[in-house]
Amino acid sequence: MDHAADAHRTDLMTITRHVLNEQTKHPESRGDFTILLSHIVLGCKFVCTAVNKAGLAKLIGLAGETNVQGEEQKKLDVLSNEVFIKALVSSGRTCILVSEEDEEATFVEPSKRGKYCVVFDPLDGSSNIDCAVSIGTIFGIYLIKEGAEPKLEDVLQPGKNMLAAGYCMYGSSCQFVLSTGTGVNGFTLDPSLGEFILTHPDIKIPKKGKIYSVNEGNAKNWDNPTAKYVERCKFPTDGSPAKSLRYIGSMVADVHRTLLYGGIFLYPADKKSPSGKLRVLYEVFPMSFLMEQAGGQAFTGKQRALDLVPTQIHERSPIFLGSYDDVEEIKALYAAEVKK
């Protein structure tokens, strides 16, 4: 990448311009989706600023205390949730919102209602805030049946019905990764412009990777196929080099690295969490959608992740996602286990 030339580029593909370009491919489009997306992007910019200030705010006694007006300072994940709820409702394009922070789904009042359902985790990995590790926002978008009264079933759809999915990672730079069902594109926030610029067009995950990402602290509780697979990563029997272990413990950061460098991310079911730990609607589905769009795979240990039909909004599932060949290998181990 020629950074010197890059610094003087004047033809910048911003996320707004990119989405408007996509919109022109759909002559019937009224721009509703573009408006919704611009509100999500605004929410991400706000959270990015808040995350960057979090350490300082704590340092000077703001976080978790009372300010001069007597208002209690909001913790970052609560703040992020409020920002996204308000941004999505004010877009006038949503009807149901499902957030990791709220026990119940939010039904938008009729006067502000639109045709989209948004599922999201406003601040994934928020336990990592205090040590400045990358964290992020994950979201997925569904369309409801035209003219019908919105109901919870509109959200409890398989991931393959998603219209779009993405995440925003707040790390050394702020990265926004998006798929609207025609490939995956990555944008980086230019703080001097306040705009997301296209920096990773048409992301394709390598067919096979050299990295595996899993919490090995849970190894004693794993099932056979997972234990066998991780053993194979460390001690390959086919003469290939061993895979490297990389685990951040923040799903957005681990998946982002997997998407760019290849490899596999695993969060299996175990004796402690028999249904897995990650939530289907706003963690498993959006990340699986992105992986498939980038040429990878996502598997639950039983089926393709995007075929799963959730019955509750906070349902959990095991997940194995990443490079096509790597996921193929774990699928074969689970298939062999079933035959026993």
- Residues 164-217 have pLDDT tens digits of 999 999 999 999 999 999 999 999 999 999 999 999 999 999 999 999 999 999
Tokens of 177: 């990764």
Phi, psi of 211 (to 5 degrees): -125, 140
| 8 Å CB contact between 98 and 155 | yes
pLDDT at 11: 78
306/289 Cα distance (integer angstroms): 7
The pLDDT of residue 57 is 72
Q: Please, which pLDDT band fits residue 289 given cuts at 50, 70 and 90?
A: very high
Of the given ranges (47-56, 253-262, 263-272), which has the lowest mean pLDDT?
47-56
User: Residue 149 is encoded by which pair of tokens?
Assistant: 């009264």
Averaged over 207-234, what is the pLDDT?
96
**pTM, to two decimals:** 0.93
pLDDT band at 239 (very low <50, low <70, confident <90, very high): confident
The predicted pLDDT at position 66 comes to 52
Mean pLDDT of the 308-318 span = 96
Q: How far is CA 128 from CA 44, 55, 131, 170, 283, in A?
A: 18, 12, 6, 11, 17
Rounded to whole angstroms, the Cα distance separating 305 from 158 reads 9
Percent of the chain residues topping a pLDDT of 90 = 77
Distance CA 265, CA 328 (A): 13
Q: What's the pLDDT at 14? A: 94
Q: Nearest-CA neighbor of 105 among 137, 145, 142?
A: 142
Q: What are the E-state strand segments in 235-318?
A: 244-245, 264-267, 278-279, 297-299, 316-317
